[in-house]
């Protein structure tokens, strides 16, 4: 039975894992894209994505309400003015950001985000710089000392690695010659069993060593060097965070990496360098024990997330600033991590488009966003903090190419 036949049969069953993974049809020009589950087993351990953590009953419920009127929240309230009043221009045009947005979910499924409202009062201003200025001020005041960074493929595009979803240029678009039943099938273990070459083609693009870290990676490392970085949670499998010098204990590669390899059937370890040589030369590495196909230990849909991922239960309640950059927040359970910081904790989104909870209007009052080119936003953030020269010198010392935004 072919993979396509399996997919058709499972669609008729209506609750199968494969049908849940298929992207839904868009309902509006800029809707929140459907979320995909990276690890069904891991989600079961976590109790499913469920409601956002600030609304869910649990050990942090009372604590979050208590912190709503904390000194940090008061500082944010004093800094925040409407987009029309601010000389810098804040992240939302005329939207009242003093009231938190709340949503509910049913049956442990993520609630669909409402379509983005059109009109001058709801349209996000991609040129707004108020979010950067507000968060930079908090950092200068010493108010943020446990920063968690959530990163996606967008932080690596400045290194020459395409993101996954951009039409025409994204990595998924480059796999069209394999006639995938849907783009994410390249990370489906059943599809891999029948057609490993689709993933191996992607792996040849992402294997560490082909690309160099960029300014964004070194900005994150600068947070570490200043003792401000609690942890980086990355969806990336390109290894650039580690290559730029972010220590292993500060890094959670939630979707695995190429450091190790194993058989996808019996999980027998396989020499990672031998797997790389075979894949880069167009061959298919096979297990010497069961003859199954070997793959790098990148997490596929339905596979367990690495144990280190579960540090989030300690890190996110401890965070005093969350920086989200270069991610579409579509893959669960990773996407829901951004909802697990306390309600009073500032969340800064640096992205080309608003995603996840930042699609809601009004935003909760501790939320900030800066939309547009990510490299430009990060460089301006470093300039506001006075870190630009140090980051550029750090890059030169490691042979990285320094690009400047005037």
224 labelled catalytic: no
Residue 292, CB-side half-sphere exposure with 13 Å CA sphere: 18
Of the candidates 255, 264, 312, 368, the residue annotated as catalytic is 255
Question: 271: how many CB neighbours lie within 10 A of its CB?
Answer: 12
CB 33 within 8 A of CB 328: yes
CA distances from 99 to 12, 103, 148 (A): 43, 13, 24
Handedness of CA 69, 147, 311, 23 (dihedral sign): positive
Q: Could you give the angle at the alpha carbon of 289 between the alpha carbons of 283 and 295, nearest 5°?
A: 40
* Distance, CA of 369 to CA of 42 (rounded, Å): 30
CA distances from 370 to 17, 37, 91, 132, 365 (A): 35, 27, 6, 7, 15
Question: 59: how many CB neighbours lie within 10 A of its CB?
Answer: 7
Give the residue numbers marked as catalytic.
255
């Amino acid at each position: 039975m072919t993979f396509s036949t399996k997919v058709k049969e499972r669609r008729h069953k209506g609750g199968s894992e494969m049908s849940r993974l298929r992207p839904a049809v868009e309902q509006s020009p800029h809707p929140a894209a459907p979320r995909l589950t990276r690890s069904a087993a891991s989600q079961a351990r976590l109790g499913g994505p469920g409601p956002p953590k600030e609304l869910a009953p649990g050990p942090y419920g009372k604590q979050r309400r208590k912190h709503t009127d904390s000194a940090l929240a008061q500082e944010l309230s004093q800094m925040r003015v409407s987009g029309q009043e601010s000389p810098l221009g804040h992240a939302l045009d005329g939207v009242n950001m003093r009231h938190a947005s709340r949503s509910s979910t049913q049956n442990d499924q993520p609630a669909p985000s409402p379509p983005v409202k059109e009109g001058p009062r709801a349209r996000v201003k991609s040129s707004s710089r108020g979010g950067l200025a507000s968060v930079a001020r908090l950092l200068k005041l010493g108010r943020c000392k446990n920063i968690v960074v959530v990163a996606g493929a967008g932080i690596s595009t400045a290194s020459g690695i395409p993101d996954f979803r951009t039409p025409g240029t994204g990595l998924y678009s480059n796999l069209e010659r394999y006639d995938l039943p849907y783009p994410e099938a390249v990370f489906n273990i059943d599809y891999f069993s029948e057609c490993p070459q689709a993933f191996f083609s992607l792996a040849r693009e992402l294997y560490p060593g082909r690309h160099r870290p960029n300014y964004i990676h070194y900005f994150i490392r600068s947070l570490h060097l200043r003792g401000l970085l609690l942890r980086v949670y990355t969806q990336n499998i390109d290894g650039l965070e580690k290559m730029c010098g972010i220590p292993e204990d500060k890094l959670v590669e939630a979707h695995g990496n190429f450091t190790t390899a194993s058989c996808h059937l019996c999980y027998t370890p396989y020499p990672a360098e031998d797997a790389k040589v075979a894949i880069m030369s167009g061959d298919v590495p096979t297990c010497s024990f069961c003859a199954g196909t070997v793959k790098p230990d990148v997490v596929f849909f339905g596979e367990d997330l690495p144990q280190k991922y579960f540090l989030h239960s300690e890190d996110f309640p401890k965070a005093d600033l969350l920086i989200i950059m270069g991610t579409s927040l579509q893959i669960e359970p990773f996407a829901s991590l951004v909802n697990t910081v306390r309600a009073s904790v500032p969340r800064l989104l640096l992205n080309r488009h608003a995603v996840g909870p930042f699609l809601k209007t009004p935003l909760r009052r501790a939320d900030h966003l800066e939309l547009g080119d990510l490299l430009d936003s990060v460089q301006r953030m470093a300039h506001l903090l006075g870190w630009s020269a140090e980051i550029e010198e750090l890059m030169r010392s490691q042979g990285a190419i320094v690009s400047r935004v005037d």
